[in-house]
Amino acid sequence: MRFSVWSGCIIAALSIGSLPDNDSLSAAEKSNAAEPSQPLKLLLKEMPKPRYNTPVPSLVTGRVVVQSPGKTSGVSGVSVSDSYSVVKTDSRGTYSLKPDPRAVFINVTRPAGYDVQGNWYQPLAQEVNFELQPSSEDENEFVFIHVTDTHVSSNPRSLQGLSRFVREVNGLTPPPRFVVNSGDLLNLHKALLGTPGQGHAAFRNYVGIMNHLSIPHYNVAGDHTDSCYRLDEFPRGDPRCAKPLYWEYLGPNFFSFEYGKIHFVSVDYGYHLGQRKLKVNGRLLDYPTLQVQPMHIKWLQQDLQQRSPGTFGVTTSEHDLVEYCPGFHQIAEQHDVRLQLVGDDHIVTHKTSPVPYRTGGALAGCWWNPKANQLCPDLSPQGYLIYHVSGEQMDCFYKGLGQRIAIVSHRYGAPLTGQEKIQAHLVQPRSGESLEFSVNGEDWQPMQEIGKPFYRTLYSATVDTRGLPEGVMTFQVRSTATDEVRKGTLVVMNGESPSPATKGAELTFTVGSKITNAKTQRTPRGTVSVVWNGEVVGQIQPQTPQTYSFPIPGSNLKAANLLEFQFSEEDDGMSLNSPLLTVQGNRVYDPRDAAIKEIRTGHWGQGAADWGGFLVGTSAQLEESPFQRKQNEFCFVLTETK
């Protein structure tokens, strides 16, 4: 007799939605899949360029003014910068700045309540002026978009996906005020391989599509955005190395702007200093040094110190600046930085301390390999975050690209027992549109509307598992007005059905040892009880990294099995690899674990299947990464096969 684990379909919604490979869909089901849209025609604009061969002036002066009929007035208290130092305008709107010899631009920080007329940055000159105009929008309440990891190249899927994003954002009502992209705009090689022509093509594709946005977009230079262009003028060792293409298409790579009560700061932490070499495919390559350098730490402190009174800081960077910017924790405390908008990891997660951040998934998903089904390695769909700001309150939700429906309560593969409420939302609902659900794909029932948060309607459905078969359940949600359907994978666990296995099994996992690509290697502070279907089957010793093996008697095996961990210490936690149940020679994994392995191999190849693992417990120090997920319960579904 053989046994297998149901490993699940590949999900395509934030929590538990699933979507099979497109080739396996019926004609009707294919209409529910996100079809690629045609790329937008490139819309290119002439932007200010650095004056590479012009000496840096010893002093830059100018005014920041606002025009009214028959009158020009200076605007006081506006920050002006060369990305190395920051000065404020005086009561007449004038400023004087001694530029750093390495500076290439002068830029103005948009103050809340004003819009910059023309360009917000200009090439260095002895005199640089800026004009503002009072904004007509209410800045106390607004919406903005945080997108990240667009990874644009010549790949048609990247151009189609970015175009779809632009069309979606332009179609939101009311319109968002701006877009922030927190890094890896392009898919250039980190070691500056390729040609300048390839870099130009990638930037043209990105900017040419993003320029179709009806709102401004602000961008962070990431390590995949750097190029080999002008390496003769800015060689490795120069902190400006690899940045000229970014300058020519997008402007300064260190800047700030204000909107409402928020002072946004963009920080680039990638420098090509020739100090970090990695061996890749037998070649020793120069990779960027990922640490904000002293002159830009000084700039960051000045910029935050001179933010407008009553504003608080939000930084945008490719990754957590606590890790990549020396002293950032203290800077954040001193200057009221409340949130970091970050990317790079291609997951949707957040951290609350010491400086909170939120990672915005990845619009790319994995453009470059269709085997990943355009999912992120945490099973989130390719997508982006939508933020709603009211005064100092910030709320957000993650939207899958091309998806209006998402199941937002239980995670993929979560256990269900008894009556459970499952929630879903519908983005920008149409007149008369609602959601309905099914647990068998045939009988559809209306979901109950339970709220109207910004941009969407929230629905709930009660599922009574006592009338459902033990094991994997597919929960489906669909619109009453369109063909969109989202599927979720859950595990019904009533404890009533015995396992088809007659003999015992063995549970194995490794705690805290060196697991490949596990960023967090942690053992528990206290003893941890290993609980299988409600019974303690063993103990994990405190502060002891090792591999554990526990026998599971046949009498404690069921069709659907639950593994839990009980910690003796509060706020404790640990890292472990994939828990494995071996039943009569068959290997059984948790459904979420199995699905993650499949997507991970699509991103990084077959060798990535067992990278990372899980973080278990309640400790705030457990930080998710592309290879480690937080999870406290694991399901093992046994089915008999012939």
Digit-coded pLDDT (tens) for 442-465: 999 999 999 999 999 999 999 999
Listing DSSP states for 31-75 in one string gives TTS-PPPPPPPP---------TTSPPPS-EEEEEEEEETTEEEE-
Q: How far apart are CA 406 and CA 422, in angstroms?
A: 11
pLDDT of residue 15: 40
The residue written with tokens 């840096």 in the block is: 56
Please tell me the least confidently modeled range out of 111-125, 216-230, 419-433, 490-504: 490-504
In the chain, the percentage of residues whose pLDDT exceeds 90 is: 87
Tabulate helix, strand, coil % of the chain (nearest 5): 15, 40, 50
Cα–Cα distances in angstroms (integers) from residue 169 to residues 166, 178, 179, 216, 330, in the given order: 5, 10, 9, 12, 36
Q: Which residue would you say has higher pLDDT here, 581 or 373? A: 581
> What is the pLDDT at residue 40?
98
Which pLDDT belongs to residue 497?
Answer: 81
Query: In this predicted structure, what is the pLDDT of residue 640?
Result: 57
pLDDT averaged over every residue in the chain: 92
| 487, two tokens | 């599927």
Residue 501 has pLDDT above 90, yes or no: no
Least confident segment among 6-10, 212-216, 542-546: 6-10
Q: Which residues pair with 546 in a beta bridge?
A: 511
The CA distance from 149 to 448, in Å, is 35
Measured CA to CA, the distance from residue 65 to residue 5 in angstroms comes to 68
pTM of this structure: 0.93
| Residue predicted with more confidence, 283 or 170 | 170
Q: According to the model, what pLDDT value does residue 450 have?
A: 98
52 contacts: CB under 8 Å, gap ≥ 6: 104, 230, 233, 244
CA–CA gap between residue 170 and residue 167 (Å, rounded): 5
Q: State the pLDDT confidence band at 24, using cuts at 50, 70 and 90.
A: very low
User: Which sign, positive or negative, has the C-alpha torsion 25, 28, 29, 33?
Assistant: positive
pLDDT tens-digit series, residues 147-157: 999 999 999 99
Can you give the pLDDT at residue 431?
96
Alpha-carbon distance of 470 to 493, in angstroms, equals: 6
The full DSSP string for 81-97 is E-SS-EEE--TTSEEEE
- Residue among 211, 133, 129 nearest 169 (CA): 211
Q: What is the mean pLDDT of residues 223-238?
A: 96
For residue 31, pLDDT beyond 60: no
Closest CA to 107 of 44, 181, 50, 184: 50
- 34, pLDDT greater than 50: no
Q: Which residue has the tokens 């003999």?
A: 503
Name beta bridge partners: 536: 531
Measured between alpha carbons, how far is 26 from 39 in angstroms, rounded to an integer? Answer: 26
Phi/psi at 350 (5° precision): -150, 160
Q: Is the peptide bond before 174 cis (omega within 30 degrees of 0)?
A: yes
Separation between Cα atoms, residue 186 and residue 86, nearest integer Å:
29
- By mean pLDDT, which of 248-252, 333-337, 556-560 is the weakest? 556-560
- Cα dihedral 271, 274, 278, 283 sign: positive
Phi, psi of 514 (to 5 degrees): -75, 100
Indicate the burial class of 138 (C-beta count within 10 angstroms; 0-12, 13-18, 19 or more): exposed
Distance CA 379, CA 381 (A): 6
Q: Are 477 and 436 in contact, with CB atoms under 8 Å apart?
A: yes
